[in-house]
């Protein structure tokens, strides 16, 4: 765990922020490369990316406040003071997707078609972000006696001097593997030249990511992330996202069924 990668007096480079920046750059480069091959304007893709990131960043902070300290919504000064602390990934995904849809509509793009290109990049960005979580000490796992346990010594967030499951590493590896699966699946659809492909990769991302997140949540040890009964807030959201993902993934079947029924 290394909250600051470089410290020169008052000048500090945060490990979490650095990994987020690397993730954004790598994710955008992949998105732009694949998008240009499909004939999309790179400037438009850049604008879509920037505004989606801003929307995701703000919404991830908003969901964190709602879960952790809703009274803070009435105290803007406190929000500003602690703005760099505490975010909920699902909030960022949901908010980012909403802005993403609006930006696609602005450029008259099909959000599902562009989304099929974007979700692999999103997963890669999340993978780097989870490495940032490890450096910062957040999103830590439960205590363990296993050989894979890690120990924090100077964390401001995670418990120090006890073995914890490296849930950040679990999440990061899962996200990178998920990105590879999504790229492979996208290429497979192109080779099959399916009649209707829009949304298939988006739906696959929503389903697979949510299942993985639901499972990893059982190994998390940070209680401040919020709970609904015995399930964490993220697990409850995961269930809803899986349902929406299944609908998007099967849009072609739904359309064919409506066409047969004459709806």
pLDDT at 76: 65
> If DSSP codes are grouped into helix, strand and coil, which group holds residue 125?
helix
Block means of pLDDT (10 residues each) for the chain, 263 residues, are 76 87 96 95 97 92 75 61 66 91 96 96 96 92 95 88 96 98 93 74 97 97 84 94 95 76 59
pLDDT of 75: 66
- The whole-angstrom separation of Cα 92 and Cα 105 is 20
């Amino acid at each position: 765990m290394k909250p600051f990668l470089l410290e020169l007096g008052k000048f500090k480079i945060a490990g979490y922020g650095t990994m987020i920046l690397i993730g954004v750059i790598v994710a955008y480069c992949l998105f732009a490369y694949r998008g240009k091959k499909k004939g999309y304007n790179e400037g438009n893709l850049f604008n879509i990316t920037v505004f989606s990131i801003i929307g995701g960043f703000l919404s991830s902070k908003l969901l964190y406040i709602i879960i952790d300290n809703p009274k803070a919504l009435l105290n803007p000064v406190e929000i500003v003071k602690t703005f760099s602390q505490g975010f909920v990934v699902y909030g960022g995904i949901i908010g980012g997707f909403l802005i993403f849809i609006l930006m696609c509509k602005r450029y008259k793009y099909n959000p599902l078609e562009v989304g099929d290109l974007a979700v692999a990049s999103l997963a890669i960005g999340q993978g780097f972000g989870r490495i940032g979580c490890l450096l910062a000490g957040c999103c830590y796992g439960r205590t363990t006696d296993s050989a894979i346990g890690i120990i924090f010594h100077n964390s401001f967030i995670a418990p120090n001097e006890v073995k914890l499951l490296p849930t950040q590493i679990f999440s990061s590896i899962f996200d990178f593997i998920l990105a590879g699966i999504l790229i492979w699946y996208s290429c497979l659809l192109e080779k099959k030249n399916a009649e209707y492909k829009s949304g298939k990769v988006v739906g696959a991302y929503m389903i697979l990511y949510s299942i993985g997140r639901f499972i990893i949540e059982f190994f998390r040890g940070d209680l401040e992330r919020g709970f609904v009964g015995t399930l964490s807030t993220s697990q409850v959201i995961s269930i809803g996202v899986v349902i929406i993902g299944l609908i998007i993934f099967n849009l072609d079947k739904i359309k064919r069924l409506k066409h047969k029924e004459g709806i």
